[in-house]
Chains A and B, each alone.
Chain A
Amino acid sequence: MMTQLTRGMVSAYILMFFAYLFLPLAIMAIPAFNTSPYPRVWPFDGVTLDWFVRLGNDEAMLYGLRNSLWIGALVVLVSVPVGLAGAVVLQQIDSRIRPLFHLATIAPVLVPGVIIGISTVIYWRELTLSAGTRTLYNGVFLTVMGQSSFISAYCMLLFTARLQRFDRAQEEAAFDLGASQTQVFFGILLPFMRPAILSAAVLAFLSSFENYNTTTFAILADRTLTTVLAGQVRQGTTPAVSALAVVIILITVIFSVLLEWISRWWASRTGA
């Protein structure tokens, strides 16, 4: 058993760890409410919500936000089906080449995002140059392709975890009752995967929305919210950036609480 002393030390450590995680974010949020035109915490000149209004009127940010939302939605539409296919193939593939296949699918997670962005741009530039059409050489499309290469792998990991709990007997029973393979896939496997599909979609959207390294290359001359933000932060900043941080933190907190709540509700309903 742990002594009183070690228990106290563990609690102190955990407290310090979370203070370390949250303090920088809290400090970053404070300038959003300070009237000072430079993002600073102290001296606190006065309380204001003007920076949020300024944020809402920032054309570049709103344009970037629209692009980010589009890209996020498209990445979900690409990565979730691709990740699911990857997980199913991983399960069926010959066990001798499974490690190789697994390594190939996980590689984009390990390769630095900058390199993924660069290689995506080069590939599509060469491809469209030799095809003589430039329609696909477009920032939004390239960003979706670049981001999906590693976000599909995140989704695959979620699906693989869920597939391991899949009871093959259900499939067998359906086959015995005369169902076709296609019916089994849509009638049994997909419903079983539903909670994982939901979490994969949320994960894919958030990963796409917050991505910078791959996006800054793949977006070409176009802009997303993170690239606009990066430009503003580099150029000397305004407290509007803090205001945006507050908004993003609030949205992610709401999202993660919601997701937790959904998964609990799901667990209680299915009795798992």
Chain B
Amino acid sequence: MISVVTGHRLLVAVPFVLVALIWGWLTLERRIAGLPPRRGFFKRNGWPVGIYLILAVALWLLGMVVLPQLFMVELSFRPKLPFNQIGGPRDVYTLENYRYFLFGSPTSSVNWNAVHLRALATTILSSLFITGFNLLLCYPIAFYMAQVATRARLRLLLLMLIAPYWVNEILRAFAFRVIFASAGLLNTMLLGVGLIAEPVDFIGRDIALFSGLIYAYTLLMVFPLYNALDNVEAAQIEAARDLGAPWWHIHLFVVVPAAKAGIASGCTLVFMLATGALAAPLVLGGPSAMWFTPIVYDRFYQVFNWPQGAAYAFVLLVACLIIVVAGLRLLRLNLSDAAR
């Protein structure tokens, strides 16, 4: 069995070895193909700038992206131990955190950890719905901005989109609380008009949560969609129109296929961020609302079981990635197309 200390050393070594292997492979391939060696990196940038570029990118990709993710995954395979036993003889790799996610605590009598499994499924299905809804909501405005609006009008619209974009998620959720609370605006209005006899529990019925989530990610959909549609040739649309295609034909068979990659990237972004939403579920979630991120949050700050929290975070990440990659496969795209 590998000890935790060795495990850590391996983790740090892996990215370095990978980079070295890729570099070696590329040079070898060039040599076999008989191509001249590339102009050296330092020759091209000079030493001071070259060192800055390498250090900055290494700090970023290794120190902020790759190593933290690897350490999180590693911790998810370790048991929860008191502080003085960490790294000790009982700190060995185990699957218990994942077993807990699937089957619940070993002492419980039920077969599956239904609460957590259902929360994950609900989160993913709801996020798919939110993504699709936002796509339909934003497509017309993005198309208008990209293909119809004059330059001056476009600048104004972009400016108007930017201001609400910077209002943070907590305040957006708070806005929906003001609207949907039991003594909120909507209930006051409906009671005043006489449509309802007593306040409707919008928060308990998750109406507030869904509205808040859809609202929160609308703007994240508009910008990628606008970029994607902006790259569609106006002449292509013109040609289809001249050939007598009805408007929905033009959109379905000309514009959408041409902007497919950009649309997919907008949807990927919204889907990933919606599954990871924390503010809206915390502020707008009713007692029965089940979003997965608050459960992860509780592993850390209610149960204080960090390894289990790491396992839950990793499960969420993998589940999202599987959905995204499967969705992209359906559209015959791969992940690097959608990351544009």
Contact = CB atoms under 8 A, between A and B. Distances in A.
20 contacts: A20-B215, A22-B164, A43-B188, A85-B52, A86-B57, A88-B53, A100-B336, A113-B276, A114-B293, A118-B300, A119-B313, A123-B72, A149-B60, A209-B168, A211-B168, A233-B174, A234-B282, A242-B178, A252-B162, A260-B159
A38 B170 contact: no
B53 to A, nearest CB: 5
A208 to B, nearest CB: 11
B75 A213 contact: no
A123 B162 CA distance: 34
Interface string A63-90: 0000000000000000001101110110
A123 B144 contact: no
B38 A94 contact: yes
A39 B176 CA distance: 12
Interface of B: 5, 8, 22, 26, 38, 41, 44-49, 52-53, 56-57, 59-61, 63-69, 71-72, 75, 86-87, 137, 140-141, 144, 148, 155, 157, 159-164, 166-179, 183-185, 188-189, 215, 218-219, 268-269, 272-273, 275-279, 282-283, 293, 296-297, 300, 306, 309-310, 313, 316-317, 320, 335-336, 339
Nearest to B161: A21
B86 A122 contact: no
Contacts of B5: 130
B53 A114 contact: no
Contacts, number: 250
A81 B56 contact: yes
B191 to A, nearest CB: 10
A210 B167 contact: yes
A149 to B, nearest CB: 4
A206 B215 CA distance: 20
B65 A108 contact: yes
Contact of B179 (A24, A217, A248, A249): A24
Contacts of A40: 178, 183-185, 188
A268 interface: no
B57 A122 contact: no
Contacts of B171: 28, 229, 241, 244-245, 248
B67 to A, nearest CB: 6
Contacts of B57: 82, 85-86, 89
Contacts of A237: 174, 177
A253 interface: yes
A104 interface: yes
Interface in A115-166: 115-116, 118-120, 122-123, 126, 129-130, 145-146, 148-149, 152
A120 B183 contact: no
Question: Which 6 pairs show the lowest CB-CB distances between chains A and B?
Answer: A112-B276, A181-B46, A85-B56, A210-B168, A28-B175, A149-B64
A123 B71 contact: yes
Nearest to A250: B163
Contacts of B86: 129
A102 B166 contact: no
Contacts of A112: 272-273, 275-276, 293, 316-317, 320
A120 B310 CA distance: 11
Centre residue among A234, A244, A255, A257 by max chain B CB count within 10 A: A234
A94 B283 contact: no
Q: Is the interface of A mostly helix, strand, loop or mixed?
A: helix
A37 B47 CA distance: 63
A212 B45 contact: no
B8 A130 contact: yes
Given A22-B164, A24-B175, A40-B178, A181 B44 contact: yes
A209 B167 CA distance: 10
Contacts of A272: none
Contacts of B306: 122
Contacts of B52: 81, 85
A25 B167 contact: yes
Interface string A181-213: 110010000000000000000000010011111
Contacts of A89: 53, 57
A226 B272 contact: no
A182 B320 CA distance: 44
Contact of A109 (B163, B269, B335): B269
Given A85-B57, A123-B72, A256-B163, 16 more contacts: A81-B52, A84-B56, A85-B56, A85-B60, A88-B53, A103-B336, A104-B66, A112-B317, A114-B278, A114-B316, A185-B49, A210-B166, A212-B169, A230-B279, A233-B177, A249-B167
A97 interface: yes
Nearest to A254: B163
B279 A110 contact: no
B189 A25 contact: no
A86 B182 CA distance: 49
B160 to A, nearest CB: 6
